[in-house]
Structures are given as structure tokens and as C-alpha cells.
Structure 1
Amino acid sequence: MRGQKPKLDNVVPMKADQTAPVPEAPGWMSAEGRDAWDRLAPVLAAKRRLDAAFEDPFAVYCEAVADVIRFTGDIAAFGSWYEVETRNGRQQKKRAVWGQRQDAIATMNQLAARFGMTPVDEARMSAGGQGDLFGEILRTLDGTD
């Protein structure tokens, strides 16, 4: 027996079939920062961690990634230290770019934790929350466990 054709507007898509929209990178970002945005934003959007309110902190994260890449290139090209002659003899000093890279890495680490981009923070964010402190004990006492 033939029935009427299915109406596609009443079909509910499966959760895996839904793709989250990926916002465009802000216009003030550098080219290297935009590259990081283009590489990482789809991943965070799929995990529902890139709402409009979080775009600016994520852009700062992407700029920190760009800085680490840029500063690492400078260190590779010019070295991480230089020598100076002092009254105590020759001394090796770190280049300024070394400290700049350390600052960018610290910014990356701090913001990566906020977006759940490390394995520990990913597990923390995907956990169901803190849970009930006495829930397991009460279920055991009630015999419902």
C-alpha cells in the first residue's frame, strides 16, 4: 500500500549531522593569527565552545599562537642568546625574543585551559559536572544502587 510522500521538514536531524557555524576571524587579526583561527575554530565550534561571546578571547589565543611561531623563527634565525663583554668577562645573555616567546606560551597555556584545549581540561569540560557528594552513599543505603 502506498502512502503519501514523506515531509522532510518534520525530520529531526541526528546530533552528529548538525554542524556548528564557524565564525569569521576578526578583522584586526594578523595573517598568522587568521591561519591559526582557520585551523582551530572549526574544532572548537564543533565542540560548541566558540560562541559569539568567546570569539575575542579565542582571537587572542590565535594571536599568541602566531607570536610563538614568529618568535621561534626569530630564535632559529638569530639564536637564543648573545655574548657581551663585562668587567667579569664574557657573559651570555638571552635575547629579548626569548622572553617574548615565553610570554606568548604562557598566554597560550592560560587560554587553552579556558577553551578545554589540553587533555586535562578537555576531560574536565566533558565530565558531567561535579556530581552529588552524598548521592552514591544515599543510593547504597536506599538499596537503589
Structure 2
Amino acid sequence: MRGPKPILDNVIPMKGDAAPRPVPPALDWMSDEGRAAWEELAPVMVAKDRLEPHYADLFAAYCEAVGDFMRFTGDLAMMGSYYEVSTRNGLQEKKRAAWGQRQEALANMQRIGALFGMSPVDERRLSGGGQGDLFEDLKRQLASDASV
């Protein structure tokens, strides 16, 4: 069929055809552990379109929480979770400071990670198709009940 030549500027590339976006480098102020987490996780977040440049500081905070969690877990593996203290009532076991710090790092990971879809529940929430159509769902349900 004859007609004007197509204009390729209005063609939307298919999902797999787009050039991969560059992964931003880790921020200068990050610790070695945080940098290691960034290098492992940032490419995944970029591929899922969840790491925009203006989210870099928040994602770096997540990576630092991951690094803290790893560091405190290693400390607890070397020193143990508890130590003994001699009191007037005898020996008592006390939790090490690293135990509480690890719990705090885990809470930070969960809180910040939810914003980036880092758990299965958050992943589903972020990749969901929206609210859907209530009336369409209701009509479908009524139609399936009527056919039974």
C-alpha cells in the first residue's frame, strides 16, 4: 500500500530492545560493606527501573544497612551473642551490643527495602497492575456464580 514513509521517532521499542541503562557508581561516602552491597544490588534495581538518580542517597542508606547487618553478624559469629557478668546474684548472661545493632540494621533494611521492592510482598506491591476494576471483578464473579 502506498503512503508516506514511516517515521521511526514514534516507534516505542519493545521491552527487551532498549539499551541497558548504566549503573550509577556507589557514592563516595559509603563504607566498604555498603559499597559491596551497592555493587551487587544496584544492577538489579536499575534493570527493574527502581534506581533513579534522585533515589541514590536512599538506596545508599539501604546498602549501608545491609553492610551493617553483615558486619554485626560477623561480630556475633566471632564473639557470640552473649557474655557473662558476675553480679551479687551470681552469673548472668547479657546480650552483646552488636546484637541490638544487628536488629536495628535489619529493621532499617526492612523499612527502606520496602520502598525499593526488596521483599516478595513489596515486589508484588510495586509490580502489581494497580487497583483493577471493581465492577469488572464483580461482573466476572456474578457470571461464574450463575454458570454453576
Aligning the two structures, in what range does the TM-score lie when normalised by the shorter sequence?
0.7 to 0.9
Displacement of 1:133: 2.5
Structure 2 gaps of 5+ residues are: 1-7, 143-148
1:24 aligned residue: 25
Q: Counterparts of 2:141 and 2:74 in 1: how far apart (Å)?
A: 59
Q: Counterparts of 2:130 and 2:10 in 1: how far apart (Å)?
A: 33
Indicate conservation of the 8 Å contact 1:81/1:95, yes or no.
yes
1:135 aligned residue: 136
Displacement of 1:137: 3.4
Alignment of 1:1-145 (within 5 A): 13-18=13-18, 19-137=20-138
CA shift in 2, pair 1:41/1:136, >3 Å: same
Indicate conservation of the 8 Å contact 1:25/1:37, yes or no.
yes
Seq. identity, %: 63
Q: Structure 1-normalised TM-score?
A: 0.83
Q: Structure 2-normalised TM-score?
A: 0.81
The one-letter amino acid of 1:46's match is A
CA shift in 2, pair 1:12/1:137, >3 Å: closer
Aligned length: 134
Structure 1 gaps of 5+ residues are: 1-7
Q: Which runs of 4+ in 1 moved over 4 A?
A: 8-13, 138-141
Q: Which moved more, 1:129-138 or 1:113-122?
A: 129-138
Displacement of 1:44: 0.4
Indicate conservation of the 8 Å contact 1:20/1:46, yes or no.
yes
Q: Counterparts of 2:48 and 2:76 in 1: how far apart (Å)?
A: 35
Q: Counterparts of 1:38 and 1:130 in 2: how far apart (Å)?
A: 34
Q: RMSD in angstroms over aligned alpha carbons? A: 2.2
The one-letter amino acid of 2:127's match is S
Q: Deviations over 1:41-77 (max 9, x none)?
A: 0000000000112111110000011111111111111
Q: Which moved more, 1:42-51 or 1:18-27?
A: 18-27
